[in-house]
Amino acid sequence: MNKENRKQLVERLECAEVTVRAVKEQLAAMDDETYSIGDRFTSTPTKWLLATQGLPEVGMVSLTTGERWDIPRKVTNCNNITGEEMQEICSSGAFTRYWNNKKKLYVNGYTKENH
């Protein structure tokens, strides 16, 4: 292998290492995603609010009927609900968050106009 080929391979390796590092950082950020009371979700056609139902219990409440989605679940911190806790709260429902209450912004492609 000549010096030029080796140099190209080293550059490709360095580039790959940067890419791997960036992907790991993105995965870590996804793992750190948490939820909070006040977050809003949609499960077509119903919109839902993540709300306390007697601390430390949290559950989904319909914004149109006020009905609960399943029984409330205990959480460690109602302002820092983990992904695992959220899976329990949602049980078998398919919910998509459209309002992140901690960040005070629309998420997942939703806007004030289309939520």
Residues 58 and 24 in one domain: no
User: In which domain, by residue range, is 95 found?
Assistant: 40-106
Instruction: Note the pTM of the prediction, 2 decimals.
Output: 0.70
For residues 50 and 93, membership in a common domain is answered with: yes
List the pLDDT tens digit at each of the 115 positions of the chain: 688 888 888 888 888 887 777 666 666 555 568 999 999 999 988 999 999 988 889 999 999 999 999 999 999 999 999 989 999 999 878 899 999 999 899 998 888 887 7
Torsion angles phi and psi, residue 86, rounded to 5:
-65, -35
Q: Which long-range contacts (CB under 8 A, 24 or more apart) does 27-34 make?
A: 31/83, 33/83, 34/80, 34/81, 34/82, 34/83, 34/102
- Is residue 47 packed enough to be buried (19+ CB in 10 Å), middle (13-18) or exposed (0-12)? middle
* 7 shares a domain with 51: no
The size of the chain, in residues, is 115
Give the chain's domain count. Answer: 2
60 and 81 share one domain: yes
Report pLDDT for 25.
64
Same domain? For 47 and 79 the reply is yes
